């Protein structure tokens, strides 16, 4: 079992992606299939950027076992008032600053769903959001 944990700073686009990049390095060392790695790190990066773009601070926790990788991204932030709406392609509340960085297409959450096997959002308005994702490591398509 490999366990990893990283802090994520809200608003700091210079550092966004650092945690996902570290995880990618570990997954490569574990010799996981490259196509699976891509799906995992794209989902993680979308989730990491969401904390940077929409929340104040957060953490990324990763648990890797031979059969699956569990990922938990927890943040303190505004929360999501309507998760169903947030999950729709194209829905975004991203600020101008976030859009200038190349984000805010409203594609992140749907893309996370597409790239993972399980995805669950727990959120409380004014408190924060927890996103749990799982990817099984044995079902290479």
Partner 1 sequence: MTLTSIIELLEAKVVTGNMCHEEVETGFCSDLMSDVLTLDTDKMLLITGTANIQTIRTAEMADVKIILLVRKKEASPEMIKLAEETNITILQTAFSSFRTCGILYSFGLKPVY
Ligand X SMILES: Nc1ncnc2c1ncn2[C@@H]1O[C@H](COP(=O)(O)OP(=O)(O)OP(=O)(O)O)[C@@H](O)[C@H]1O
CA dist., res. 38 & res. 32, Å (int)? 10
Residue from 24, 27, 128, 129 binding partner 1 (CB under 8 A): 24
Residue 54 or 137 having the CB closest to ligand X: 54
Residue of 15, 22, 11, 30 whose CA lies nearest to 77: 11
- Is residue 12 classed exposed, middle or buried when 0-12, 13-18 and 19+ CB atoms within 10 A define those classes? exposed
Among 20, 74, 92, 115, binds ligand X (CB under 6 A): 92
CA R_g for the chain:
14
Among positions 77, 79, 108, 128, the unique one binding Mg ion when judged by CB under 5 A:
108
Of positions 36, 46, 71, 135, contacts partner 1 by CB under 8 A: 46
Query: Is the CB of residue 5 less than 8 Å from the CB of residue 60?
Result: yes
Among 37-45, 61-69, 72-80, 127-135, the segment contacting partner 1 (CB under 8 A): 37-45
Residues 110-139 that bind partner 1 (CB under 8 A): 111, 114
CA distances (Å), 98 to each of 13, 45, 95, 125, in order?
Answer: 9, 15, 5, 21
In the complex, the residues that contact partner 1 under the rule CB under 8 A are 13-14, 16-17, 20-21, 24, 34, 38, 41-42, 44-46, 49, 101-108, 111, 114
């Amino acid at each position: 079992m490999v366990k990893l944990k990283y802090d994520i700073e809200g608003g700091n686009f210079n550092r966004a992606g650092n945690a996902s990049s570290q995880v990618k390095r570990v997954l490569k060392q574990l010799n996981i299939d490259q196509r699976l790695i891509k799906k995992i790190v794209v989902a993680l990066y979308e989730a990491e950027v969401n904390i940077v773009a929409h929340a104040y601070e957060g953490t990324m926790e990763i648990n890797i076992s031979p059969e699956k990788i569990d990922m938990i991204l927890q943040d303190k932030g505004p929360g999501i008032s309507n998760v169903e709406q947030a999950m729709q392609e194209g829905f975004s509340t991203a600020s101008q600053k976030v859009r200038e960085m190349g984000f805010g297409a409203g594609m992140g959450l749907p893309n996370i769903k597409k790239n993972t096997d399980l995805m669950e959002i727990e959120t409380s308005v004014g408190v924060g959001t927890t996103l749990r994702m799982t990817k099984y490591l044995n079902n290479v398509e």
